[in-house]
Amino acid sequence: MPGDGPSIVNEMEPRGFLLEAPHFCRKISVFLPRPRDAYSWGFGQLRGADDDDLLSTPVRVSPLVNVTAVAVGEWWSLAVTADGDVYSWGFNMCGQLGDGTEDHRLIPALVSALDEVHVTAVAAGIGHGLALTADGDVYSWGYNAHGRLGDGIDDHRSVPALVSALDEVHVTAIAAGSGHSLAVTADGDVYSWGFNKYGRLGDGITDRFVPALVSALDEVHVTAVAAGSGHSLALTADGEVYSWGDNRYGQLGDGIPDPSTTGVPVPSDPGTRVRSRQGRRHRYRRWLQPQPGGHR
């Protein structure tokens, strides 16, 4: 249907990044243009405004400056600044704002528990958050059913803590699905943990409470991952995409509606390479046709 996926908004700069929340994407969106301001629209508590009005036109999230990355969960938001600080706002019933409370917040505020580290990226699931630091460490907080925080237990946590099971690896990318989490290392390995219905962890169907290697991807060098409601994607250095998990609506892209508990290549036209991926409930792929003299 028109409007279901990411699109350029006329009121803003044409060059930037548009992110939309899973499931309730019609109610919250965050746009990061090149000047490093953050724009949002939707309900007030979600767009960082001190009201609960519904706006259909983007407005600047005024407390935020020098923003380098953003993420949207289900009714809540995260932002990273050039200084490596993390700000959060919105719905907080599960402690996903990382401020030690379960109070909803209408205006972005610093996640002080991450003051001592320099964060470069964040990921937001339905009710849990992940932060990646410049040192390659991963922190998690929020809703912890099925072990999606990777700390070995299922207790919710309203303050970020180090995912110690990843201490021995240098993480370069993270992703948070509705009930599971993914991490990519500098060596091109993928780790997964959390809810494993439909095999979204890539190693069977058993929930995992601590990160473990996705061995089915051992033979490829992964550079990025994406996590959906019940499925996962991995992008390799060779421009190939692997998918696994729920496939009831064809979200694995393999032409059949059966789930897969291990990563399988997404078929594509000969010679095409994947450059980017985006989305949460659905994955959007942009294919680049071979150019004279090689790939772009």
Is residue 82 within 8 Å of residue 66, measured between CB atoms? yes
Residue 132 within a domain: yes
Which residues face 221 on adjacent strands? Answer: none
Residue 237 vs residues 137, 159, 219, 240, 285: alpha-carbon distances, Å: 22, 34, 12, 7, 16
Dihedral of the alpha carbons of 27, 277, 34, 185, in degrees to the nearest 10: 110
- Residue 151 near residue 163, CB atoms below 8 Å: yes
On whether residue 4 sits in a domain, the answer given is no
Per-residue model confidence as pLDDT tens digits over 162-179: 999 999 999 999 999 999
Residue 188, in any domain of the structure: yes
Phi and psi angles of residue 198, each rounded to the nearest 5 degrees, phi first? 70, 5
Residue 6: inside a domain? no
Nearest to 124 by CA among 83, 156, 159, 79: 79
Q: Are 181 and 188 in contact (CB under 8 A)?
A: no
Question: Domain for residue 294, yes or no?
Answer: no
Do the domain assignments include residue 109?
A: yes
Number of Cβ within 10 Å of residue 144's Cβ equals: 22
As a whole number of angstroms, the distance between CA 174 and CA 149 comes to 12
Q: Would 268 be classed as within a structural domain?
A: yes
CATH number at residue 192: 2.130.10.30
Domain count, the chain: 1
Asked whether residue 293 is domain-assigned, the answer is no
State pTM to two decimals: 0.76
Distance CA 188, CA 205 (A): 23
Tens digit of each residue's pLDDT, the chain (296 residues): 334 433 333 444 444 444 444 433 334 445 444 445 555 545 444 444 455 555 567 677 767 889 999 999 989 999 999 999 999 999 999 999 999 999 999 999 999 999 999 999 999 999 999 999 999 999 999 999 999 999 999 999 999 999 999 999 999 999 999 999 999 999 999 999 999 999 999 988 899 999 999 999 999 999 999 999 999 999 999 999 999 999 998 999 988 888 888 887 887 764 455 444 433 333 333 222 223 333 32
Range of the domain at 180: 16-288
